[in-house]
Amino acid sequence: QVQLQESGPGLVKPSETLSLTCTVSGGSMSSSFWSWIRQPAGKGLEWIGRIYTTGNTDYRPSLKSRVFLSVDTSRSQVSLRLTSVTAADTAVYFCARGRHYCSGGDCYSRWFDPWGQGILVTVSS
Amino acid sequence: DIQMTQSPASLSASVGDRVTITCRASQDITKYLDWYQQKPGKAPNLLIYRASNLQTGVPSRFSGSGSGTDFTFTISSLQPEDIATYYCVQYDNLPPTFGQGTKVQIK
């Protein structure tokens, strides 16, 4: 059973870069895509971006200028970098696996299953 | 971005009650909608995929229906362990967008 674990600094200073890693265990990274999602305290969920093991990415338009995702299949890791952070970037950050399914021309995706436990990142001086 | 309007924002019901949550998309998303349950301090957990398909291992009291712009999530008989916030998410168009969430409490 695939498990995901986020790691990284819990405190980042304003204007600096937030860097997180999602380590995948219990299964292969292939045939999947990997998303980052964040959730400010007491608020809803916001998708940040996704990356395939090929390196292809999609980003949330409002964050596109500040976000960079990378993947290292040899280490079974997906990384998130978010530059020029402000207090508005304070949130719990989750990673999640996504998969596409096709059967007889009928295709759909499961975007977020499973999730990591999440990591709280606070932006503060 | 496609806007997902989820209602109600919160509800309180008794154990055994039928609970219904709705999500309305700002445009046709066919059936590209999932439902998640999030308990306090935990990551969301997939319950329903593609509008009406029950994820493996999820109790059958959970169900989903709908297509196009209007979707419904139902708990047929509310249990104490169902206390959580529930989210819909569309993935017909990038970026995937979540509803605002519905907090379900026991009366």
Of A46, A60, A94, the CB nearest to B43: A94
Distance separating alpha carbons of residues B19 and A92, to the nearest angstrom: 28
C-beta atoms of A44 and B42 within 8 A: no
* Six token digits for residue B69: 């712009």
Closest CA of chain B from A81, distance in Å = 18
**pLDDT digits 0-9 by tens, B50-85:** 999 999 999 999 999 999 999 999 999 999 999 999
The shortest C-alpha distance from A9 to chain B (Å) reads 19
Alpha-carbon distance of A79 to A71, in angstroms, equals 6
Query: What confidence tier does A105 reach under pLDDT thresholds 50, 70, 90?
Result: confident
- Residues of A with Cβ-Cβ distance to B56 under 8 angstroms: none
Peptide bond into A61 cis (omega under 30): no
Q: What is the mean pLDDT of residues A66-79?
A: 97
Mean pLDDT of the region B23-39: 97
| Mean of all residue pLDDT scores within chain B | 97
* B32–A108 CB contact, under 8 Å: yes
Does the structure show a pLDDT above 90 at A107?
no
